[in-house]
Amino acid sequence: MELPVSLLSVAQVRALERRALAAPGVDGLTLMRRAAQAALSRLREQWPGARGFTVLCGGGNNGGDGWMMAALGRAAGLDARVSWTHPPQGLRGEASAAAAESLAAGVPATPFDANRGLGTAAGPCGASAGAGAGTDVAPALDVIVDALLGIGIVEPVRAPIAAAIAAINSSGRPVLALDVPSGLCADSGRVLGVAVRADVTVTFIALKTGLLFGEGPEHAGRVALATLEVAPLPSEEVVWQRIDAAQVRAVIPLRRRDAHKGQGGRVCIVGGGEGMAGAARLAGEAALRVGAGRVTVACAAASAAAVAARPELMVQPLPLDPVAAASRLAELLAVADVIVAGPGLGRDPWALALLAAVRESGRPTVLDADALFFPLTEVPANCVLTPHPGEAARLLGGTASLVQADRPAALRALLDRHAAVVVLKGAGTLVGQRGRVSQVCDRGHPVLAAPGTGDVLAGAIGGLLAQSGDPWGAAVAAVWLHARAGERLANDAGRGVLAGEIAAALPAAMAEVLRT
């Protein structure tokens, strides 16, 4: 099932849950039962041959969901068992009721023993656990279910949960996480010391931001949503969305049978300093691949031949003298609809002079790569900034590790400084602009971690901007298409795909989204 567009914070999800519990006929145990049933259904769908599962249950309501899932699994004829880090007699509220129901149903339940891990159980918690005192109960290890921690964790994981998480990750078994993988911050996607690596995560009520931010995708695996029949958050209260195909489709202009290249817009790529022709050429090729009508690359004379090897690109060599180069570039920019500045530009006085001409033109501009090296005054709303974490750190006066530790915060800081659309690149690329709902891209593949793919993205944004006239829409659509092109070329090695191949895959990604 397609995931929803809206992403919610922990505070927003809890507010929705409170609203649901205030309605007549709904209580916490009802929601817990719905969550457990949804998780059980997803487990059976994902692993239809599984004979049973072991749930690792913590001490809160997430653990209660796990206890309830074990009871429902037992009733469904599966060998469902519980390994707990907090004894059932110490649980409270709905979690206590779920544990009692599970034990009454005959679910074998034993304390988790870090010395034994998950190979065998440490012994029963008592006769009511479904086994006699002193009996060694072997758990059902077809699938491991993580029900240790919920969405409220904000501090590093401590014992005994940390040991249980390590045991899950080293079990070699398929793992299903309830709500969020234990140890993952549900808001930021940061790993709080250690976190479960799940194959599937069934998240409840709404899609949490942390499942798509930071390290969330690496730990959550495939994400499924169970709304538990809770009404969604009103759209005006949503602050994050995931990019979906409908948004992309709305940006790509449909072409009539009598279309001509003049309708595709004119893009000028400013880059390709000496020894760096490839970056400018890749950006130009990407602009053509998404449908730009005419693409001119303004580059150093030494780079012109390499760029011109792609015959569909127009090439304008610029003089080595910075003043003369800027003057010639100003003439080219006067007839351009969109500028992409930065790919292979360099960081010398020649590059600085060209950037001054770009700013003075007032044209919609994609600022990428070396264009982000120089200090920037506030960039206007008709432009797009495309920093990777290192470039974002330079713009913010921090470090890449700080940017990566809280990517949403880094995006907000950039938006405070610039009116432009900001594309914070990386796994889970973020797109934001003042006054708009920020976007996150949940598509992509490690093959995109290759030299030149950022140049391809910049060119694709420029090409779509030339056709649509919409910097926001062009950025959102290009990010998604770029990620989808990587997915289409994905291989088991997760590497070895060239940036030029990503550019060449863009038309197929566009055709795919237009067909859906």
In the predicted model, what is the mean pLDDT of residues 329-336?
Answer: 98
Number of H helices, E strands in the chain: 17, 18
Q: Do 6-235 and 245-515 come out as alike in CATH topology?
A: no
- For 6-235, the fitting CATH number among 3.40.190.10, 3.40.718.10, 3.40.50.10260, 3.40.30.10 is 3.40.50.10260
Residue 136 has pLDDT above 50, yes or no: no
Please count the CA atoms within 13 angstroms of the CA of 411 that sit on its side-chain side.
27
210 phi and psi angles, rounded to 5 deg: -65, -15
pTM value surpassing 0.75: yes
- Beta pairing, strands 52-57 & 79-84: parallel
One-character DSSP codes across 484-496: HHHHHT--TTS--
Q: Where are the domains positioned within the chain?
A: 6-235, 245-515
* 125: confidence class by pLDDT, cuts 50, 70, 90: very low
Average pLDDT, the chain: 93
d(CA 478, CA 463): 9
pLDDT tens for each residue of 252-285: 988 889 999 998 999 999 999 999 999 999 999 9
Read off the amino acid at residue 421: V
Lowest average pLDDT, out of 95-99, 119-123, 318-322, 323-327, goes to 119-123
Quote the tokens at residue 292.
Answer: 């730009």
pLDDT tens for each residue of 143-161: 999 999 999 898 999 989 9
Residue 234 DSSP label:
P
143 phi and psi angles, rounded to 5 deg: -135, 140
Q: Is the peptide bond before 160 cis (omega within 30 degrees of 0)?
A: yes
Residue 106 has pLDDT above 50, yes or no: yes
The residue among 457, 385, 449, 374 whose CA lies nearest residue 415 is 385
d(CA 207, CA 211): 8
d(CA 261, CA 309): 21
pLDDT tens for each residue of 198-228: 999 999 999 999 999 989 999 999 999 999 9
Place of tokens 């429902």: 72
Q: Are 23 and 231 in contact (CB under 8 A)?
A: no
Residue 128 has pLDDT above 80, yes or no: no
More confident residue, 401 or 125: 401
The residue among 400, 346, 343 whose CA lies nearest residue 369 is 343
* 516: confidence class by pLDDT, cuts 50, 70, 90: confident
Which CATH homologous superfamily contains domain 245-515? Ribokinase (3.40.1190.20)
482: enclosing H helix or E strand: helix 471-488
- Beta pairing, strands 79-84 & 314-318: unpaired
Q: What is the pLDDT of residue 466?
A: 98
pLDDT tens for each residue of 53-88: 999 999 999 999 999 999 999 999 999 999 999 999
pLDDT tens for each residue of 158-189: 989 999 999 999 999 999 999 999 999 999 89
